[in-house]
A and B are shown apart, each in its own frame.
Chain A
Amino acid sequence: MNKTATYQIKVTASTENLAEVRKFVALHAKRQGFTEEQISDLQLAVDEAYTNIIKHAYQNNKNEHVEINLSFDSDKLCISLFDSGNSFSPKNYNLPDIQKKIEERKRGGMGVYLIHRLMDSVSYHAKADKNEIRLCKNRN
Chain B
Amino acid sequence: MKNFKINHRESSGLDVLDLHGELDAHTASQLEESLKLLIDSNKSSIIVNCSELDYIASAGLGVFMAYIEDVRSTGGDIKLTNMNERVYNVFDLLGFPTLYDILEDERDAIEQFSKEN
A and B assemble together: yes
**Interface size on B (CB < 8 Å)?**
26
Q: Is the CB of A103 within 8 A of B62?
A: no
Instruction: Name which residue of chain A comes closest to B86, CB basis.
Output: A40
CB neighbours of B22 from chain A (8 A): 19, 22
Which chain A residue shows the least CB distance to B4? A19
Q: In the complex, what distance in Å separates the CA atom of A99 from the CA atom of B72?
A: 13
Instruction: Please tell me if B55 contacts chain A, counting CB pairs below 8 Å.
Output: yes
The answer for the CA separation of A105 and B96 in the assembled complex, in Å, is 15
Q: Which of B3, B24, B61, B96 has the most CB of A within 10 A?
A: B24
A126 within 8 A of B: no
Contact A108 B93, beta carbon cutoff 8 Å? no
Q: How far is the CB of A97 from chain B (nearest CB, A)?
A: 9
- One of A70-78, A83-91, A109-117 contacting the partner: A109-117
User: Given A102-B68, A110-B94, A113-B94, are A15 and B25 neighbors across the interface (CB < 8 Å)?
Assistant: yes
Task: Give 8 new A-B contacts, CB below 8 A, not counting A48-B58, A106-B65.
Answer: A16-B26, A18-B26, A19-B3, A22-B55, A44-B57, A47-B24, A105-B70, A110-B58
Binding site for B on A (CB under 8 A): 15-16, 18-19, 22, 40, 43-44, 47-48, 51, 54-55, 95-96, 98-99, 101-103, 105-108, 110-111, 113-114, 117
Q: Which residues of B contact A (CB under 8 A)?
A: 1, 3, 22, 24-26, 55, 57-59, 61-63, 65-66, 68-70, 86, 89-90, 93-96, 99
